[in-house]
Structure 1
Amino acid sequence: MFNNVIRPSILGKFLNKYSKIEYDNKYLYLFIKNKQEESFSWREATGFVKINSSIFSSSIEFTFDSTHLKIDFLRKSDCKNSFNVINEFLKNIIDERIINKKNILYKYTQLEYLRDSNVVTLENELLPLFNSYNNQREYWDKSLSIESCKFLNGYLEYFPLTELSIKQLREEFESKTLNNRSSFYDKIESNPLTEEQRLAVIRDNDRNLVLAAAGTGKTSVMVAKALDIIDRGIAESENILILAYNKDASKELQDRLNFRGKDVFSDDNKKPQIKTFHALGREILFNAKKSVKISVFSEKPETLEKWISEWFVTKMESDDKFMEKFINLSYQAINPFDFKSKEEYDSYIRDNDYLTLQDEYVRGYQELLIANWLYLNGIEYEYEPSYVSKQRVEIGFDYRPDFFLTDYDIYLEHFGIDRVGNTRVDIDKDKYNYEIEQKRDLHNSFNTKLIETYHYNWTEKNLESTLYQHAVDNCITIKKRPKDEIFERLNKTEFLVDGIKRYLKCLQAIRVERLSDTDIYTRLEEEKIVNPKEYTELLSSIHSAYVEELRIQDSIDFDDMIIRAITEVNNKNFKPKWTHILVDEFQDISAARMEFLNSLIENGPSPRLTVVGDDWQSIYRFSGGKLELTTQFESRIGSCSTTMLQKTFRYNNSIAFTAGEFVMQNPEQYKKNVVTHTHVNSSQVYLLDSQVSKVENLELKTLRVIEEIIKNEPNASISIIARYRYLLKNTKKEVSKYLPKKEIKYWTFHGSKGLESDYCILIGFFQGKKGFPNENKEESVVEALLPSLDTFEHSEERRLLYVGITRAKKKSYLIADPKATSVFINELLSPKFKLHIASKSFNEKYREIFKCNVCTTGYYKIRKGEYGEFYSCSSGKSCRSNPRICSKCGAPSIDYEKESICNNPNCGFVMKICDVCGRPMKKRDGKFGSFWGCTGYGLKEDQCNNTRKL
């Protein structure tokens, strides 16, 4: 045992805190007034001692794990002798310490992937050592073993740990594992894993995000990762949990895992658990001895619709005010003066139907209120009837008053002006007010009765009282329509059915988002829903009745399985054991499922989470999917390692480019560079018109495309994809007549996810409510309750189209009507998307011939009516435009004040028309020469004698 002393210098006896320092081969002892006060074990030393000498004395420095000591004014001779003695036995201690730290580094960076949670631990363990080495590098290199110096020199640049050095450590681990596990990754799936797939398997951070483009093999990654964890001994099979989106996905994963894991599983009974969120929740409730009886509403969804229908019927039968409330809340109030442009207004009116209780469509919300008031008060009316005279007030339009009260020969006009005559932003105020005067004059000249209401009656909340006063003043009998009759009408029209479906969606949103009454009101108010209080009261009543019904059934629904399981886990009634949790289809995870996942993580043994998904395929917002949990993963869930799967074997580079370029227009999503195994030199995404022999026929055109595919490739798989089932039904009916033996698949865009065919035909690219994208604003209350949507317009519908296009392995066909194209088709016509546009009908100059001259979004389409063919606008009821058919070329001919001009620039035929009634003018001869005379001359009724000079 050593017993060595370092004493103060002469000056140090007065200035030094310590009276002496003693040491042996185990400890350093510090004395104050010759009494031992402190001691330090050499095993805690992080570096060699350092001596600094001056003329009269020396100082010595010691560095320990938690302390740095510098003692001045010591005898030079004592320090010199002690320096070599102490450092000699520190050599072995530091060598041992380096071996220990080397093992720690090996444990955290080479035995496993460096996890974020281990970074601080690793830094705390190794940084003091590297700092000490850096301060005495030359001495350390001379004193320590070659192995120790090699280690220190090799890793010095990594500490302190930075983003770059952490990345380097991880890349070294990845490179080593890729090499060592190459054979496993070659054989674990039917095809060798791509490098991206291998990296997704290897990366085992606390949080791992795998973003998989369509067809890039995310299921292979899930299976390979689970088996890799087991094969490398990182975790036992039973400590791995795989969560699938639904039963089908769960079964596919289970089958793949069983087949691929035959050589990995040591015990057939010990395999990773693969469950849906609901199944796991139910299992947790069962283990906690809670009720797990599943409601009939969950097992048979049609019973839920039946229950809510009966609930509404019962309420209406027992409460007159409830029926009135239901009718009033069936449509969202909209102020036309709030629109900032004609295009914005036109689009809204085009995309939203206003169906009255009399089962007719009107052009706006205020007209709907008037129509329903008339109906409820027993006043018979016609909507937009022909006037007694064909005389025109507006150029190009026959005069049709808004309403005609049939029992009283009274016309009712609702004028869109405020108190000072202001109009909507897109309407010429002076012209509109002038036309109001003309209409009044017209009624006076034909001695017809006109009553008027105004936009300001509605804004001042006195529209109904104004109607009532008009009725009193004009001796119009008000007789409240019987409740039974109203209810029968609600049942006969779509009014009741549509309302019930809407509120059922609201109930589902409330359940999946776990909304309180306050949450409901807040969301409605934030989305500027009119009457948020009334909606909240109604929705609260529905939800309370539903919860009570579940209580009576003594059962739980799918949402309860998750919500109640969270409570049991957080209350420690269930202890999660999983060390690794893998989640499939993460882009569609709901807030409740994420909360469930967090409860498993927070109450478990610090499990590692790997989520696999594709933000480009997030299409289930209606089921509660919160895309921002994927696109904002780090800020919302935590730091992670991200891997992108961008190599696809399903489709070619043309499909990948067009679909990818289209979906990436949304800047709120991840950018990916999808690489394909198959390369082609020309576009394989085709845009076709929906005409056959110049006649619009979507179903027959689809059949023609199928026949052409079969002609070239008889055994090819073919799928039809549409936004709505009715389109698939109509198309299947047509195709089956001619190809009864050919197996054609019919998918909705939502239903097509995860499927594939050689050729896919995408249909239904209309404008508006039943179009694609769906632009229906009627569901604004439902929308307000659903998870927030990224701000990019039509973002989810855009992802839906991406899903549809990427179902095709060889070619994807889009069939659309050039004269009623949706905004998606208009966008895809841009050269940057590289579509193969296979029809000249999509040429801008050709389409311009059919562009509506009244509204901003419509095109003229030929219709067949009682008196033959005619043109009308594709915007439907929202646009009144009905141009003539040019007698020369068949194109639309637009009426101006005195003539109708063909819209086809290659024709340009001009027909003279009457500036009074709009009928064609005919060249006639009179005693003063030739002149233009109205063809209405000589009619028995509504004769027009208007003439005009040649």
Structure 2
Amino acid sequence: MNAEQRVIVTPTFWGKFFGKIKSVELQQNKVIVTDKKNNITEHDLGKTFDFPAIQKSFFGTKLFFKDDSTEVVLSKLAKKQTDSLLLEIEKVVASNIKVKVKEGFQHFANLAENQYLRDSDIPTLNDRVRLSVLSYGDNKEHFQKYFDESLVKKIQYISSLFPVNAINAQTIRKEYEQHVLNHRKHFFDVIESNPLTEQQRLSVIRNNDINMVLAAAGTGKTSVMVAKALDLIDSGACKSEDILILAYNRDAATELSERLQERAREANLDLENSPSISTFHALGRRIIKECGKSVHLSKFAEDPMKLDRWFNKWLEDYIKEDPDNLAKFIQLAYQPIDPFQFKTKEEYDRYVNDNDYRTLQGERVRGYQELLIANWLFSHSVEYEYEPRYVSKRRIEIGFDYKPDFSLGDGVYLEHFGIDRQGRTRADINAQEYNANIQRKRELHAEHNTTLLETYHYNWVENTLYKRLEQLMNEQFIPLKPKSQQEILDALNESGIFKENKNRYLKCLQAIRTERLDYQQILKRLTDAKIVYAKEYATLLMRIHDAYVKELRSANEIDFDDMILLATQLVKTGEFKPKWKHILVDEFQDISMARLELLKEIYTKGPRPIWTVVGDDWQSIYRFSGGKLEVTTRFNDMVGSHTLSKLEKTYRYNNSIADTAGQFIMQNPEQYQKNVVTHTKVADSCVHLYDSHVVKDEKSEANISLKASAILKLIRQKAPEATVAILARYRYLLEDAKSVIKDKNVKFWTFHGSKGLEADYCILLGFFQGKVGFPNQNKEEAVVEALLPMLDSFPHSEERRLFYVALTRAKKESYLIADANAPSEFINELLSPKYKIDIVSKRFQERYRTIFKCNECSTGYFVMKQGKFGQFYSCTSGEVCRSSPRICEKCGSPSVDTASMSICQNPNCQNSFPICDKCGRPMRLREGKFGKFWGCSGYGIKDDPCSNTRKYFI
């Protein structure tokens, strides 16, 4: 309405007599009301967003409108005049609403169309478009009447998304993504040597407050990191100096920097400056330096050997300063365990395999209680021999020559029997038979005039074992002379116990520093892990930690952990003000809590930065250095709401390797599910399983390195120019392979070191059982494990991820070498048809494997070994399994002894021969005056004859 135009409304006949209004006038967006006393009231419509309304009656028209938020009612007005006034007020309100709607459109464009909608912007967006949406919802007819079609369609679209919740935000983001994908298509086509995949492009353009990119092996996560940084610069979203890129280590940072510069040149992008690409430690040092703090990096951080030497001396001094400290050190060297807690033989066998109980004298014993006895004897200068041959070759248990636990010399033997006071045994042992064997042993000693000393499991339970030993020694007049502290310390060094525990405590120190644990937290973790002597461990570990920190402080030095913690504190207190607008983090699956806290402070204190993390939970393999996979698998809980992208298309390896590796890793429900799609498709399996046996000098033997060499020759025959890598869990296996394989074009990688690398063909070694097998089954590190970041409960979860890393290094084919007679758990699993691997060797067939299965323990297999007296079979469980079958004379398979026969385990052979049920020697068919009979072949042995005979039956 023009300023000159005026609309005047007067009252009706009834209004003049019974009303209060003289006139109503609309003038310059104001409704001016004059009453009969000529008092004037002005109602400003400048902030009115509600359309007016009228109500007609016999007495006149009633007008309703709002002055800002106050409702005004004017009654008994002339009808036609009021209609005109209504129309003019509608125009004013429509104009007001149009301004607000366009403001709302602009906010919507700024927050949801011109950028990726951020979670933190959703409340602001809802607030800024609320008025527009509500106005439209209440006044759709007026919108059609006063606004053009494009504006109405726009408000309808925004209204359909209001309020913006998770579902509506997804719709908004998808439209944004489609627009940017089209608009930036050329950039994404040329920024890498190959056009980016759609998943890579989406990972680049998604800029929520927090973004996670999960990248399967070989899917181009580095390409995403580089393309994202360059896209931000090229699109004008930010400058180079606004970007911080964090890499896991120095090599990765260098690779990212070189790759970014190279791709910028190839794409003709002019970079005035490069983004800041740094490791976490370098970032920490930069923050500390910029805050003017003078610190020096510890000599321990720069040279681990100096830390080892310092701690070696500190630990020796600690032991020497108090006799109690020596006793505590020995006490804490091994975890006590009650064998009666095991319910099955399988459980007990695993315990025996996984625990290396080494005595002060240096031999390995089978259990914790035997360790205590051996160490007590040694500490009191009682000479002993562990599990010696008895004076006479006799058998108490079927298949085994009798070997007492300890020989103390002069015909005195000591047996430790695993029974309680009621004669009960471990759950998997037949108590009646066990007690009968105890009686047979007593009778055997009586027969040969040797002395049998007995200790019992219940002595240990009742804490009277040492008292019992002292009593037995006194009864036999065996002198007890406590060794000096220095003698025991020397024994600790010579047996390797000191070094082994020193290394364990250093690992504990690293875990405590990385996890930032105080005494109470250490104690809680150890207690929760059911560590015996948790309080004693916590006390010693805290003392080690405090001594380490004191050493650092005395030299005015900090270590890498201090560097991160100090930098975090400087950001938190505001001394350092981060200015980065975009933070990109590589290898996030291996992040520690300390690094995460630094990131959070930078994110919180920065100028609303956007934080993007890239990683692969399937490749989290650095828990031992503080990597906390839980941050990735529980990202929403531990970091916050985020946008998740997945990179699932790989150009590295084929569908055979992808299917085998993917199915293997996804057996663990804690891992993210991914559907890896490969560019290369093959029909046959490219994961081959070979056994480690080779024929050498007309003999078959297990030799991993020779088998790897043979496989390498096959590869070279079909692909002479191909790249080949040999991988192993442990470096010593690679050294063995290097001594055999002289091909200079072959790469040698540990499984951990292979991460990020690739080769056409890969040969994987070391799939056997035990402490240095794969998966690693070393349970001696229970204390360290308790202090490390929490691990999910799935068996061998990190070792499983390590296998995934190793298997996915191959671009074309992967070769696994394992001993069919002693395969690891992983090989046993891969033999399942669902993995569809190529099982090259027939030795892995179940029928063949049963021939070599150990009859004594639950996990071992018989393998042929070469000794100084020739070949022999032993169990892969090692010294803890007593089984050592004979070699079948007909087929060479293991021949296992029963009470009176030795029977070949090969079902196609089943050769058998009689053995002596007293001493186990072969029986010979002899002729006597009453006919043929079986006589022991030990009959004529001078020192230990056996005259046992048995009837001969035709």
TM-score, normalising length: structure 1: 0.95
Q: CA deviation at 1:5?
A: 7.4
Closer, same or farther in 2 for the Cα pair 1:910/1:587, shift >3 Å?
A: same
Number of the residue aligned with 2:729: 723
Q: C-alpha separation between the residues in 2 aligned to 1:767 and 1:55?
A: 101
Q: CA deviation at 1:748?
A: 0.8
Q: Report the 3-state secondary structure (helix = DSSP H, G, I; strand = E; otherwise coil) of the residue aligned with 1:763.
A: strand
Match of 1:523 among 509, 522, 525: 525
Q: C-alpha separation between the residues in 1 aligned to 2:82 and 2:338?
A: 91
Number of the residue aligned with 2:211: 208
Number of the residue aligned with 2:569: 567
> AA paired with 2:930?
F
Number of the residue aligned with 2:739: 733
Number of the residue aligned with 2:187: 184
Q: C-alpha separation between the residues in 1 aligned to 2:399 and 2:74?
A: 105
Contact 1:265 1:271 survives alignment (8 Å): no
Contact 2:10 2:78 survives alignment (8 Å): no
Q: 2:347 aligned with 1:344, yes or no?
A: yes
Q: 2:286 aligned with 1:283, yes or no?
A: yes
Q: 2:701 aligned with 1:698, yes or no?
A: no
Q: C-alpha separation between the residues in 2 aligned to 1:81 and 1:495?
A: 102
Closer, same or farther in 2 for the Cα pair 1:744/1:137, shift >3 Å?
A: same
Contact 1:46 1:64 survives alignment (8 Å): no
Match of 2:400 among 393, 397, 405: 397
Q: CA deviation at 1:818?
A: 0.5
For 1:529-608, list aligned pairs within 5 A.
529-608=531-610
Q: C-alpha separation between the residues in 1 aligned to 2:580 and 2:795?
A: 41
Contact 2:9 2:78 survives alignment (8 Å): no
For 1:265-664, list aligned pairs within 5 A.
270-406=273-409, 408-664=410-666
Q: C-alpha separation between the residues in 1 aligned to 2:313 and 2:497?
A: 15
Alignment deviations for residues 95-132 of structure 1 (CA, whole Å, 9 cap, x no partner): 22222211111111111001111111111222332233
Superposition RMSD in Å: 2.8
For 1:135-154, list aligned pairs within 5 A.
135-154=138-157
Q: Report the 3-state secondary structure (helix = DSSP H, G, I; strand = E; otherwise coil) of the residue aligned with 1:261.
A: helix
> AA paired with 1:389?
S
Alignment deviations for residues 667-715 of structure 1 (CA, whole Å, 9 cap, x no partner): 1011111111111111111110001012111111111111221222222
> AA paired with 1:708?
L
Q: CA deviation at 1:607?
A: 0.7
Closer, same or farther in 2 for the Cα pair 1:149/1:501, shift >3 Å?
A: same
Alignment deviations for residues 469-526 of structure 1 (CA, whole Å, 9 cap, x no partner): 2222221211112233222222222211111111111111111111111111111111
Contact 1:200 1:643 survives alignment (8 Å): yes
Closer, same or farther in 2 for the Cα pair 1:46/1:241, shift >3 Å?
A: farther
Q: CA deviation at 1:874?
A: 0.8
Q: C-alpha separation between the residues in 2 aligned to 1:711 and 1:98?
A: 74
Q: C-alpha separation between the residues in 2 aligned to 1:37 and 1:376?
A: 111
Unpaired runs of 5+ residues, structure 1, are none
For 1:122-133, list aligned pairs within 5 A.
122-133=125-136
> AA paired with 2:761?
Y
Contact 1:760 1:807 survives alignment (8 Å): yes
What is the number of residues matched between the two proteins?
A: 943
Q: C-alpha separation between the residues in 1 aligned to 2:385 and 2:42?
A: 104
TM-score, normalising length: structure 2: 0.94
Q: C-alpha separation between the residues in 2 aligned to 1:869 and 1:291?
A: 66
Closer, same or farther in 2 for the Cα pair 1:451/1:682, shift >3 Å?
A: same
Q: CA deviation at 1:59?
A: 7.2
Number of the residue aligned with 1:120: 123
Closer, same or farther in 2 for the Cα pair 1:246/1:45, shift >3 Å?
A: farther
Q: CA deviation at 1:197?
A: 0.7
Match of 1:685 among 687, 692, 705: 687
Closer, same or farther in 2 for the Cα pair 1:377/1:657, shift >3 Å?
A: same
Q: C-alpha separation between the residues in 2 aligned to 1:760 and 1:64?
A: 80
Closer, same or farther in 2 for the Cα pair 1:157/1:902, shift >3 Å?
A: same
Q: Report the 3-state secondary structure (helix = DSSP H, G, I; strand = E; otherwise coil) of the residue aligned with 1:792.
A: coil
Number of the residue aligned with 2:256: 253
> AA paired with 1:291?
S
Contact 2:693 2:703 survives alignment (8 Å): yes
> AA paired with 2:670?
E
Q: C-alpha separation between the residues in 1 aligned to 2:496 and 2:12?
A: 102
Q: C-alpha separation between the residues in 2 aligned to 1:168 and 1:434?
A: 78
Contact 2:9 2:77 survives alignment (8 Å): no
Identity %: 52
> AA paired with 1:704?
A
Q: C-alpha separation between the residues in 1 aligned to 2:383 and 2:125?
A: 84
Number of the residue aligned with 2:227: 224
Number of the residue aligned with 2:94: 91
Contact 1:404 1:412 survives alignment (8 Å): yes
Q: CA deviation at 1:646?
A: 0.9
Q: C-alpha separation between the residues in 1 aligned to 2:667 and 2:27?
A: 73
- The range that moved more, 442-451 or 546-555, is 442-451
Q: CA deviation at 1:35?
A: 13
Q: C-alpha separation between the residues in 2 aligned to 1:32 and 1:499?
A: 99
Q: CA deviation at 1:437?
A: 1.7
Closer, same or farther in 2 for the Cα pair 1:181/1:466, shift >3 Å?
A: same
Q: C-alpha separation between the residues in 2 aligned to 1:6 and 1:845?
A: 109
Q: Report the 3-state secondary structure (helix = DSSP H, G, I; strand = E; otherwise coil) of the residue aligned with 1:648.
A: strand
Q: C-alpha separation between the residues in 2 aligned to 1:63 and 1:795?
A: 67
Q: Report the 3-state secondary structure (helix = DSSP H, G, I; strand = E; otherwise coil) of the residue aligned with 1:852.
A: coil
Closer, same or farther in 2 for the Cα pair 1:396/1:46, shift >3 Å?
A: farther
Contact 1:46 1:129 survives alignment (8 Å): no
Q: C-alpha separation between the residues in 2 aligned to 1:653 and 1:779?
A: 38
Closer, same or farther in 2 for the Cα pair 1:907/1:107, shift >3 Å?
A: same
Q: Report the 3-state secondary structure (helix = DSSP H, G, I; strand = E; otherwise coil) of the residue aligned with 1:904.
A: coil
Alignment deviations for residues 160-190 of structure 1 (CA, whole Å, 9 cap, x no partner): 2233221111111100100010011111122
Closer, same or farther in 2 for the Cα pair 1:57/1:352, shift >3 Å?
A: farther
- The range that moved more, 864-873 or 112-121, is 864-873
For 1:65-84, list aligned pairs within 5 A.
67=69, 69=71, 77=79, 80-84=83-87
Unpaired runs of 5+ residues, structure 2, are none
Number of the residue aligned with 1:48: 51
Alignment deviations for residues 46-92 of structure 1 (CA, whole Å, 9 cap, x no partner): 44334566787877666899x58596988694864543221122222
Closer, same or farther in 2 for the Cα pair 1:782/1:73, shift >3 Å?
A: farther
Q: 2:163 aligned with 1:157, yes or no?
A: no
Alignment deviations for residues 878-935 of structure 1 (CA, whole Å, 9 cap, x no partner): 2111111112211111211121211111111121112222221222222222222222
> AA paired with 2:567?
A
Q: C-alpha separation between the residues in 1 aligned to 2:439 and 2:874?
A: 28
Q: CA deviation at 1:363?
A: 0.7
Contact 1:513 1:591 survives alignment (8 Å): yes
Q: CA deviation at 1:867?
A: 2.6
Q: CA deviation at 1:635?
A: 1.5
Q: C-alpha separation between the residues in 1 aligned to 2:445 and 2:800?
A: 50
Closer, same or farther in 2 for the Cα pair 1:14/1:490, shift >3 Å?
A: farther
Q: CA deviation at 1:540?
A: 1.1
Closer, same or farther in 2 for the Cα pair 1:33/1:541, shift >3 Å?
A: farther
Q: C-alpha separation between the residues in 2 aligned to 1:773 and 1:4?
A: 93
